[in-house]
Amino acid sequence: MTETAQFGAKRVPLAAKQALVNDVFRSVARRYDLMNDLMSFGLHRAWKDALVTAVNPPKAAPFAVLDIAGGTGDIAFRIVEAGGAQTRVTVCDINPDMLEVGRERASIYGGDAVVTLAEANAEALPFADRSFDAVTIAFGIRNVPRIERALVEALRVLKLGGKFVCLEFSSVDVPALDRLYEFYSFNVIPALGRVVAGDAESYRYLVESIRRFPKPQAFAAMLRAAGFGRVSFQAMSGGIVTLHCGWRL
């Protein structure tokens, strides 16, 4: 029997999902960060600041971070700014169009000396065991075809005592806000995508992928099953997003 995966509202062969996701991000790469500002009314900046605070890069010690699915470099540059002179971030993304945006920005931060960009699949990371002090992923884990494999890989490349921090959209848990959020997501966001990025369908997929992502408790269970310890999560903005953390112990 052919293994399948969810892609938006439909199921597709698992082997085909990655190519379909790649097409989505190839289409939106150049307007991705602008659309994040518009869609979240700028709130994504505060959410990402919370992720960086959770990573807590030291000011006076070497600190190596892997940012998965972070092609535009938004998270990486924030971590570099928050850390000390010995903070280094490796960005990996499976989509070359997203990485190209990140490369154009990397020169501002010292180029490859500070932020390194690599084309790589989250399910098979090309990095040695116990290479990083922290692993991050922001709004990317829901697009991975085999989330369980990606979590095992993230654990593998973490040093003992290293921290995994994941920021992802979640399910709104505030009465009335949930209905407003549903309407906004499925009506306003695709329309914004059409006007700003010239692509409503890609944003319709991204919204549908949020609806299909496991609820916080279920994702926390997935982290524990992958081998992470001291797993925790924190809902923000009424549950619109959740910050998940786990440690390699």
pTM for the predicted model, two decimal places: 0.85
pLDDT at 175: 77
Long-range contacts of 236-239 (CB under 8 A, 24+ apart): 236/47, 236/50, 237/43, 237/47, 238/172, 238/173, 238/174, 238/177, 239/170, 239/171, 239/172, 239/173, 239/174
Q: For tokens 């269970």, what's the residue?
A: 221
pLDDT at 7: 47
pLDDT at 165: 98
Which regions in the chain score pLDDT beneath 70? 1-37, 108-112, 196-197
pLDDT at 195: 75
Q: How many residues does the chain have?
A: 249
Q: Which residues share a beta bridge with 233?
A: 244
Annotated domain spans of the chain: 4-247
d(CA 210, CA 221): 18
pLDDT at 246: 98
d(CA 241, CA 249): 26
pLDDT at 212: 84
- Interval 93-123: pLDDT, tens: 998 888 888 888 887 665 567 899 999 999 9
Largest interatomic CA distance in the chain: 54
d(CA 153, CA 217): 21
pLDDT at 134: 98
Query: Are the C-beta atoms of 223 and 244 separated by less than 8 Å?
Result: yes
SS3 114: coil
pLDDT at 48: 94
- Interval 51-73: pLDDT, tens: 999 999 999 999 999 999 998 89
CATH of domain 4-247: 3.40.50.150
Q: Which two tokens stand for residue 189?
A: 């966001």
